[in-house]
A and B are shown apart, each in its own frame.
Chain A
Amino acid sequence: MGKMPNWADAVLVPVISLLLAAILSALVILAIGEDPLAALQLMVKGALGSSYGWGYTLYYTTNFIFTGLAVAVAFHARLFNIGGEGQAMLGGLGVALACLYIPWPHWALALVGATAAAALLGAAWALLPAYLQARRGSHIVITTIMFNFIASALLNYLLVNVMRPKGSMDPATAKFAQATHLPTLHDMLAPLGIAFSKSAPANISLLIAVLACGAVWVLIWRTRLGYEIRAFGHSEPAAHYAGINATRITVATMLISGGLAGMMAINTTMGEAERLVLNSVEGAGFIGIAVALMGRSHPAGVLLAALLFGFLYQGGAELALWTNIPRELIVVIQALVILFTGALDNMVRMPLERLFIPRKPSIKKG
């Protein structure tokens, strides 16, 4: 078994995958008679060319960090949590409950309370699939997917029948109180003398997301629980030999994973919409899978991959707005990136390994 140098594994593989995706996307754009270079320019300008663009890019990035971390943590225990979508929806419910029914004196306290509520409900939504996996062997991919639908239906019911203010035609809760409104990047950067767009939705949740990256890193590589999670993920029989309880690890991992997915709601529901609306997650739970794959389940990788997908989201929206390139093509480009960085990872990795390994002999060659 050979091994590439670490930098090649962490940098070269994703960069080449991205380039391949970009080339293929360019060909597709060419094929529909548009100019790929101009499209790229527009995307870069739209997503990164102004503080307004950055504000949206970072807003999406925040979502993807949370859901990406959620999937990454579960991956370490070799659990495939596809339920980020549903767990984030429940997180939204948690945020709404915390913001609507508790009179917070200050946004900072509200943020702590809402984060806790979001994580709690997100984790609760992962509990049953985790338990079923650990004790009954019901496959977690199936159960978490089904729980996405249940979450969607539950929120639909609650928003239409229970939480909708009287007289409103909109399936959404009432607006949260002023005291719970989170500072946006504009508010945060203004004291530092940096002008940032007032209308962009990026907010203080971004900092929480970055902190969460650090926390996940500590959890996975510095704590006993992380040690057990990784051991369990690599080899169940060995974990059993070491006295690591499979049920406990499965449930603990999924609770953390669900909690992280749920925390996404502080960004969308508390930071942006300032009320709970239907479909507030908008597929971010699924993007999290691609983010975790591309980020190799490492928090730093997740952070970078989330940024990339944030860029693609915002740049793609701009593209649809200003060109004849249809909205669907943006989905194609995003799909290509997911395909190359996630699913086709080995396609790039294997030739690269062959390139590196003859020069770097492995230790045992029998």
Chain B
Amino acid sequence: MTPAIELQGISKAFGPVHANKDIALRVLPGTIHGIIGENGAGKSTLMSILYGFYRADAGEIRIHGTPVTLSDSQAAIAAGIGMVFQHFKLVENFTVLENVILGAEDGRLLRPSLAKARKELRALAEDYGLNVDPDACIEDLGVGFQQRVEILKALYRKADILILDEPTGVLTPAEADQLFRILRRLRDEGKTIILITHKLREIMEITDTVSVMRRGQMTATLPTASTNPEDLAERMVGRKVLLRIEKAPAQPGATVLDVQNLCLQDATGVARLKSVSLSVRAGEILGIAGVAGNGQSELLQVLGGMRPAQGQVWLNGQPIDIATPRADARTRRALGIGHVPEDRQREGLIMQFSAWENSVFGYHHDSGWQRYGIMQNAAIRQAAAAQMHRFDVRPPNPALEARHFSGGNQQKLVVAREIERHPQLLLIGQPTRGVDIGAIEFIHQQIMALRDQGTAILLVSVELDETLSLSDRIAVMFDGQIMGERAADATDERELGLLMAGMAPAGGA
């Protein structure tokens, strides 16, 4: 059988860095092929070569047996390659239909193109189960649907090879499941799909074959059925990796955080938190599970002092002000509440600041870091260098701007900053989102060590695996409410999944 894609000896260097070294790849038509590797392993470079963004320094590309030169994305589209980027390339205030024909209009007048596209979309929807309202505005669509539009765009351009770059990074578990259903259907209809990801579970769940990349090289290509997550992780990182953290039973102490009847309405009057009550004791981790958008983010923001709310909150038995705008993130830090925000790039770090400037971000009022309003830069720099060493941040260069670190190392910068303050209470949101496996293991160990030192930890994560393996107790949020609370070792994904869907299982909370 002629492979749909055949790469031979593909190399690409950026200066002395070999982003891709002598890559060979064969993908048979009608299969889903996973490419897995840590950040910086060369996955994106390889796909950029396939989509005509970069020219390879050496090597050959064959599509369905025909050698091709992919000088730009137009050439890639002509060769039948479609790409769905991690960050969508859609015009927010255009309709689905307008986005689909954008750049592929048939003539100067839009009407015939739109009519044709409408017909085509209907056919595509029937063939692959890709249902989207063609007249809906992109900004009114959920993320999952926006992604469908990206897929439709590729299919409308007659792609029969579809490349998806980290497609589930922005999706809820349910949306991811729907995406996988669509991908399977596309495969069954004869399309070839390349899935780039760093999530082992997705590889195991959906791919037929998988290639592992490490440091610019393709280290293995194997049938998915013949491998397992531990094996893949080892091939990715180059050493044995603990996928499930080993933890001692918690030794909970006194109650540190006590929340009663916390309520929050957003600017449009919609209730985001509905009478939430929970408590966290010293030396234990309370995990909040739930599908993204059910109030977990708001809970973290309220406790972290980023938005006022109604209700009572006690820290170590002392009531704290959560209602007035005076109660900001700074006062919360002064009380000993650390906060690893859900979005490290938007909130946790100033991307243009150096690592050392970021190392005191939020704590820049502390007397060690400033005196009479003058920043003690030498002291900060020194402390940051030591901290980066302890947290194995790479490269260990405090002068480097945050944006030049990989996602995992950025997260280490944030986690290090918040953990090393030894907070009474640590709020931690999506600790390992977009972080590669080696760093995940490290961050999990740090969180555990902090728990064992007696810090109360409130963990929010959309990764149910992570919540299950880290938490001592798990509270499930749905529609702004706590649906129930379980001991982590007395529950499973099925039970939590029901709670996450808003169904209270028999037996009650």
Contact = CB atoms under 8 A, between A and B. Distances in A.
Given A238-B361, A243-B333, A361 B351 contact: no
Given A245-B328, A364-B406, A222 B375 contact: yes
Interface stretch (B36-44, B169-177, B223-231): B36-44
Contacts of B42: 365-366
B75 to A, nearest CB: 21
Contacts of B14: 358, 361-362, 365
B427 to A, nearest CB: 11
Contact of A363 (B44, B333, B377, B404): B404
Given A241-B362, A242-B361, A243-B331, A366 B39 contact: yes
B351 A235 contact: yes
A319 B330 CA distance: 58
A238 B403 CA distance: 14
Given A243-B331, A366-B45, A238 B346 contact: yes
Interface in A343-366: 358-366
Nearest to B304: A241
B15 A359 contact: yes
A358 B19 CA distance: 13
B41 A241 contact: no
B182 interface: no
A228 interface: yes
A237 B374 CA distance: 24
Contacts of B64: none
Contacts of A242: 329-330, 361-362, 364
Given A240-B306, A365-B19, A231 B375 contact: no
Given A227-B364, A238-B346, A366 B375 contact: no
B404 A224 contact: no
Nearest to A358: B15
Given A235-B351, A237-B346, A363 B395 contact: yes
Given A243-B305, A243-B333, A237 B353 contact: no
Q: Is the interface of B mostly helix, strand, loop or mixed?
A: loop
A1 interface: yes
B15 to A, nearest CB: 4
Nearest to A240: B306
A365 B328 CA distance: 38
Interface in A134-177: none
A231 to B, nearest CB: 5
A230 B361 contact: no
Contacts of B347: 235, 237-238, 240-241
A246 to B, nearest CB: 10
A102 to B, nearest CB: 31
A225 B341 contact: no
B137 interface: no
A123 to B, nearest CB: 18
B202 to A, nearest CB: 18
B506 interface: no
A84 B236 CA distance: 57
Contacts of A225: 373
A30 B361 CA distance: 55
Contacts of B352: 234
Residue from B17, B39, B43, B405 whose CB has the most chain A CB atoms within 10 Å: B17
B349 interface: yes
Contacts of B16: 361
Residue from A222, A235, A245 whose CB has the most chain B CB atoms within 10 Å: A235
A82 to B, nearest CB: 24
B444 interface: no
B406 A230 contact: no
B214 interface: no
B451 interface: no
B350 A234 contact: yes
A366 B408 CA distance: 13
A27 B389 CA distance: 58
Contact of A235 (B330, B346, B362, B405): B346
B331 A235 contact: no
In the A-B complex, the 3 residue pairs with the smallest Cβ-Cβ separation, listed nearest first, are A243-B330, A243-B329, A361-B15
Given A226-B375, A228-B364, A230-B350, 15 more contacts: A224-B365, A224-B374, A238-B346, A238-B347, A238-B348, A240-B306, A241-B347, A241-B348, A243-B329, A243-B333, A361-B15, A362-B14, A364-B39, A364-B405, A365-B42
Interface of B: 14-17, 19, 39-45, 304-306, 328-333, 339, 341, 343, 346-353, 357, 361-362, 364-365, 370, 373-375, 377, 395, 400, 403-406
21 contacts: A224-B364, A224-B373, A225-B373, A227-B364, A228-B364, A231-B350, A234-B350, A238-B346, A241-B306, A241-B329, A241-B339, A243-B305, A243-B329, A243-B362, A244-B330, A358-B15, A365-B19, A366-B39, A366-B42, A366-B43, A366-B45
Interface of A: 1, 3, 222-228, 230-231, 234-235, 237-238, 240-245, 358-366
